[in-house]
Structure 1
C-alpha cells in the first residue's frame, strides 16, 4: 500500500506530498523543496505523505511496540537502557523544565553498529549495538521501520539543501554514520497516569534537540503544536503519513531561519498511545555552523553536532545526569514555551 494520501491540512500545519523529491527531474524536486522550505520558515512543522515507506511496515512496528510494552517489567528491564541510548527506559527518566511528572516509558534504538565498529571501538558516545529484546519479530519490524524512516529523513534533507540554495547533498553527506536515535514512546492511559501522580498533559511543552524529527503517531491523536499566537494547533494522525519538524540544531544551522517550534502531547482517551519519532541527526563530529550557508554575521557559534546533543541530554535525561527539578511547580507552567 502506498503511503501517499491526500487530505486537507488542519489549521496551519501543511500536508506536503514529498513524492517529487524522488523524481529524476530537478525542477520537480525544487518545487517540492520550496513547499517544504516555506513550511520550515513559517512554523517548522509539516506532514509528509507520498514517501516510500509502506503503511504495512509502519503498522508492523507499531504492533510489535505494543507487544513489547505489554510485557512484565522484568522482561523490559532485561534490556534496560545504557548511556548510548539503547534499550528500555522506565517512566521518570526524562526530566522536563517545568518540574512536572509525565507518565510514559520508552524503548530507544539507533543507527545499527556492530561491536567491532570503529566508532564503538573508539568509545565515541552514542554509537553502540542495539539492545534488542527477546521478543520474536521485534528486531525485524523495528529495524525495517527505522531504515525506512531514516531514508525519509535524508530525502527531506536534500529538499532543505535545494531550498537554501546549496548542493543537494549539503546536509545528507554528513549522514554516513548518523547519530539518528529512535524513541518508541509508550504513553500510559489517562487514568493510569493520574493514578501515578502524573500531570494531565501526556508530554510537556518542548522543542526537539536536533536536525529534524520524523514522527509517526498512532491513531489516538494528541499531538499539538504552538501557533504564532500562542494557541495550540491539533496535529491529528494521517494514516501512513509522517509529521516532520525542525529541531534546535537545524535552527542553529539556518541561523534561526527555520523554526524549532514548541509542541506537546495531550491525553485524548483512556488507552495507551504509541509514537515512534526518529531524531535524524548527522555523524557525531559534524560541525554545524551558519557560516557554511553563507551567513555573513551568524547569530550562533559553530558547534559539534554530537556534543550539542549530549549537552541537551544532560539537561533532560536522568541517565545522562539530569538533576531532579522542583516538582512543586504549578501545573499551568506546562503551558509556557519551555524546552524539554
Structure 2
C-alpha cells in the first residue's frame, strides 16, 4: 500500500558541516520530493528556538486584539498589513469559484521587503511597499523581522540545493533573487462562535498553489492543512516536531516544465464540539525579482513532452494571482491548476 507521505529531508549539509557526498545525498532527496510530492519537511534548518518563540508571541499579541483595532492596520492595494476574515478567496487565484461563496475565513498579517532594502535599484513601490506596523503591540516589528531574516536564509539555502539537484551551476538562481519579492504572511484560523455556520462545507483557506519560487512554512501541529495527491485525493499533513514545511511555487513548476510540482493545497479547519480549533501558520514566500523573466530551464522539456508555459515576468504572474485572491477577480491564466481543483476528490 502506497500511503501518501511528505518526505523529511535533513538540509544540515548545506547549513552546517557536510562534505560533497552529504550535499549530493541531500540534493537527490530534495529532487525526489520535488518530482513526486512538491512538499518537503525539512530539518537541520538551524533556526534558533528564540526566533520561533518570538514569531509566535508576536502573532498571539496581534491576533488576540479586537477586530476593530486589527483593521486599523489594513492597507488597500499593497501586499502589506492586515487582512480580515472572509475578505479573500484563494481559489480565485486559480480562477475557481468557491462552492461556499463565503470566502476564506482566515485572517492574516503581511510584512515584506521595501524599496529601502535595495537603494541602488529603481523598484516599483507597489511591489516593494513599506511595512505597516500595528500600534500597541510592543516588539512586533523586531520579532517578525527576525523571523523574516531566518526564513529568508532558509529559502536561499533551498535555492542553492535546487541548483545542485537540477545539475545547474552553483547558485544559479541568485540572478533571479538578488532583490526578491519576498513576503511573510502570518495566518490565524479562529473565529468566535456564531461567526460561521458549521454545517456543510467550511473553508479556512481555499485550494491554491503558491505563486513564487519556494515557500517556507512554520505551522502549529494542529490538523487542517491538506495536500492534493496525483490521484486527485486530499491528504492531511502535519509538520513533525521541529520541522518546517517547504513547498514549491508556480514559478519553479514553470522553470522545470512541471518536472517539479507546484502542489495544490488548502486548509480545512478541525471543528471540535461545535468550535473551530485554533491554528496558526507563517508562510515565507520567496518569489523572485519582480523584473525577472521566468522561462523553461534548459533540458527540462523531456523527450515526448512539450513546453507547457510561455515566458512570464514575476511581476505579471504575481499580480494576476493576487488579483484573484485579494480583489476577487478570477485568474484566467491558471487553466492547468484549475483543472486539478475541479477534478479533485472531496
TM over 0.5: yes
Instruction: Classify 1:207/1:310 alpha carbon distance in 2 versus 1 (closer, same or farther; 3 Å).
Output: same
**1:249 alignment partner in structure 2:** 251
Residues 287-312 of structure 1, C-alpha deviations (whole Å, 9 max, x = no match): 11114566486332211112211111
| Unaligned ranges ≥5, structure 1 | 1-9, 326-332
Instruction: Classify 1:132/1:113 alpha carbon distance in 2 versus 1 (closer, same or farther; 3 Å).
Output: farther
**1:13 alignment partner in structure 2:** 6
C-alpha separation in 2, matches of 1:36 and 1:250: 13
Task: Confirm whether residue 287 of structure 1 aligns to residue 293 of structure 2.
Answer: yes
**2:234 alignment partner in structure 1:** 232
**1:3 alignment partner in structure 2:** none
Which of residues 75, 82, 89 is equivalent to 2:83?
89
**2:39 alignment partner in structure 1:** 45
Does the 8 Å contact 1:190/1:271 carry over to 2?
no
Q: CA RMSD in A?
A: 2.8
Which of residues 259, 275, 281 is equivalent to 1:275?
281
C-alpha separation in 2, matches of 1:221 and 1:166: 37
- The residue correspondences of 1:69-108 to structure 2 (distance < 5 A) are 69-95=63-89, 96=91, 97-99=96-98, 100-101=101-102, 102-108=104-110
Residues 160-207 of structure 1, C-alpha deviations (whole Å, 9 max, x = no match): 111111012111342222101111111124845524999423222221
- The residue correspondences of 1:1-340 to structure 2 (distance < 5 A) are 11-22=4-15, 23=17, 25-95=19-89, 96=91, 97-99=96-98, 100-101=101-102, 102-114=104-116, 117=119, 122-134=123-135, 135-189=137-191, 191-192=193-194, 194-195=196-197, 199-268=201-270, 269=272, 270-292=276-298, 295=301, 298-318=307-327, 322-323=328-329, 336=342
C-alpha separation in 1, matches of 2:200 and 2:134: 28
C-alpha separation in 2, matches of 1:192 and 1:219: 25
| Unaligned ranges ≥5, structure 2 | 332-338
Instruction: Classify 1:118/1:221 alpha carbon distance in 2 versus 1 (closer, same or farther; 3 Å).
Output: farther
Normalising by the residue count of structure 2, what TM-score does the alignment of the two structures yield? Answer: 0.83
How many equivalent pairs are there?
318
Residues 43-92 of structure 1, C-alpha deviations (whole Å, 9 max, x = no match): 10110111021233113211211210111223222221342311111123
C-alpha separation in 1, matches of 2:21 and 2:307: 30
